Structures are given as structure tokens and as C-alpha cells.
């Protein structure tokens, strides 16, 4: 059986700097990463850590961003839960059997998460 574990929570927000300040005050902790831009998603991304949990902030970098569209449709809030696995094919099969929506990471996202060195 494949190993599936929780990685992080993704939250769509309007402004990373403003929401980041709220998290810093709440957790008494600085950001775990710099703000990076994902040109494929047309989004700015930044990670924060609270204990063993990572929170990814996602903000649009332009008005034609899918993130901007999602913000207009649903407002700020939960975007995704991210999991890691050591057997992708089996995890995808099980996810589809359980009716989970699965989205693969873009190359920029993969590089971003490797750069952050999120603990396994």
C-alpha cells in the first residue's frame, strides 16, 4: 500500500502581504519562504508554518489569473489540501475510487515546494 501523507493547506487570498501579517501576528512566526511568482498559474505564492502544519498563501498576480477568477466567484478561503505519496499511480487510482479531485503540480509548483524543503 502506498504512503499518503498531508503536506499543506492552500488558501486563496487577495493580498499576500496583508494576510501574511495576520498569520505572523497569530502564530508569532515569520514566513517560511519568500513570495514567489508562478507564471503558469499567474499567482504569487508564500508558505507559513504553524507547528508541523504548512499554510500556502495564493494570490493572483494579474486579473486574467485563474486565482483572480476563483476569488471573484467564491471569495477568500480554502483552495486545496495537498498530500504527498510515494506511489502516485496507486494513490491516483484510490483517489478516483473515492471521488477525489486530483490536480498535478505544475513544474513551478514542484520547484517551489522543493525550494521550501517541506519536511517529509
Q: Which residue has the cell 499543506?
A: 8
Domain assignments of the chain as residue spans, ordered by start? 4-116
Beta bridge partners of 60: 43
CATH H-level superfamily of 4-116: 2,3-Dihydroxybiphenyl 1,2-Dioxygenase, domain 1 (3.10.180.10)
Digit-coded pLDDT (tens) for 18-35 = 999 998 898 888 898 999
Give every CB contact of residue 40 below 8 A, 6+ residues apart in sequence: 106, 107, 108
Digit-coded pLDDT (tens) for 52-69 = 889 999 999 999 999 999
What's phi and psi for 108, nearest 5 deg?
Answer: -65, -40
Sheet holding 53-60, edge to edge: 36-38, 43-50, 53-60, 4-12, 77-85
pTM of the predicted model as reported, rounded to 2 decimal places: 0.76
Amino acid at each position: 500500500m502506498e504512503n499518503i501523507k498531508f503536506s499543506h493547506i492552500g488558501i486563496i487570498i487577495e493580498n499576500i502581504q496583508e494576510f501574511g501579517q495576520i498569520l505572523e501576528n497569530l502564530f508569532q512566526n515569520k514566513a517560511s519562504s519568500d513570495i514567489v511568482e508562478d507564471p503558469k498559474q499567474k499567482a504569487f505564492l508564500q508558505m507559513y508554518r504553524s507547528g508541523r502544519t504548512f499554510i500556502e498563501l495564493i494570490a493572483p498576480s494579474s486579473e486574467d489569473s485563474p486565482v483572480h477568477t476563483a476569488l471573484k466567484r467564491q471569495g477568500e478561503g480554502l483552495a486545496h489540501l495537498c498530500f504527498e505519496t510515494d506511489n502516485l499511480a496507486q494513490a491516483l487510482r484510490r483517489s478516483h475510487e473515492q471521488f477525489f479531485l486530483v490536480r498535478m503540480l505544475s513544474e513551478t509548483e514542484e520547484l517551489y515546494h522543493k525550494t521550501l524543503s517541506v519536511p517529509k
